[in-house]
A and B are shown apart, each in its own frame.
Chain A
Amino acid sequence: TAGITQAPTSQILAAGRSMTLRCTQDMRHNAMYWYRQDLGLGLRLIHYSNTAGTTGKGEVPDGYSVSRANTDDFPLTLASAVPSQTSVYFCASSDSPTGELFFGEGSRLTVL
Chain B
Amino acid sequence: GQNIDQPTEMTATEGAIVQINCTYQTSGFNGLFWYQQHAGEAPTFLSYNVLDGLEEKGRFSSFLSRSKGYSYLLLKELQMKDSASYLCAVRDGNYQLIWGAGTKLIIKP
Contact = CB atoms under 8 A, between A and B. Distances in A.
Is chain B a partner of chain A in the same complex? yes
Interface of A: 40-45, 90, 97-98, 100-106
Where chain A touches its partner, the secondary structure class is loop
Interface string B54-70: 00000000000000000
A34 to B, nearest CB: 13
17 contacts: A40-B101, A41-B101, A43-B97, A44-B99, A45-B96, A45-B97, A90-B42, A98-B31, A100-B45, A101-B43, A102-B45, A103-B43, A104-B42, A105-B41, A105-B42, A106-B41, A106-B42
Nearest to B31: A98
Contacts of B45: 100-102
Interface in B60-109: 87, 89, 91, 95-102
A40 B9 CA distance: 11
A41 B98 CA distance: 11
A26 B82 CA distance: 29
A103 B42 contact: yes
Contacts of B31: 98
| Max count, chain A CB within 10 A of own CB: residue among B30, B41, B97, B101 | B97
B30 A90 contact: no
Nearest to A96: B95
Contacts of B33: 100-101
B102 A42 contact: yes
A100 B48 contact: yes
A42 B41 contact: no
B43 A90 contact: yes
B11 interface: no
Contact of B87 (A40, A42, A97, A102): A42
B20 interface: no
Nearest to A58: B96
A103 B89 CA distance: 14
Contacts of B89: 42-43
Nearest to B88: A42
B60 to A, nearest CB: 15
